[in-house]
Amino acid sequence: MTPIASGTYVNATHYSYTFLCKACILADGTTFKASDATDTLGFAFSTAAPATPANHASALVHHASDGHFTANIAGAKSAKYDAWAALAVPGQAVTFRA
Ligand SMILES: *[C@@H]1O[C@H](CO)[C@@H](O)[C@H](O)[C@H]1NC(C)=O
């Protein structure tokens, strides 16, 4: 996943994380298909930070909440794919801002 800063924001009711996903669709059937209209994705979060946030190998605390949601894959497609993909900067730090 390569983040797109200009498509990433948070406000009082929504958050948006926009990213270029390369090689996300696998031919082995373990992911959704490009032709799928929707897919179910899961999430988990905690209010406690990892032991060492700067270290990607840091231990995580058990999540406080989890769930799943249906993603509208058909609605996520864009005729402006090339323009969006050009905004994805590898290694770019993305901050959620109101
Ligand atoms: C947050 O952003 C979404 C998407 O642009 C918008 O529909 C919604 O009204 C916004 N909420 C607030 C409280 O501004």
Nearest atom (ligand 1) to Cα of 11: 1
Position 97 confidence tier, pLDDT thresholds 50, 70, 90: low
Asked whether 5 and 20 are in contact (CB, 8 A), the reply is no
Quick check: pTM over 0.85?
no
Nearest-angstrom CA–CA distance, 6 and 19? 10
Distance from residue 12's CA to the centre of ligand 1 (Å): 7
For ligand 1, atom 5, name the residue with the nearest CA: 14
Express each pLDDT in 27-38 by its tens digit.
888 888 889 999
Instruction: Name 46's bridge partners.
Output: none
CA–centroid distance, residue 68 to ligand 1 (Å) = 22
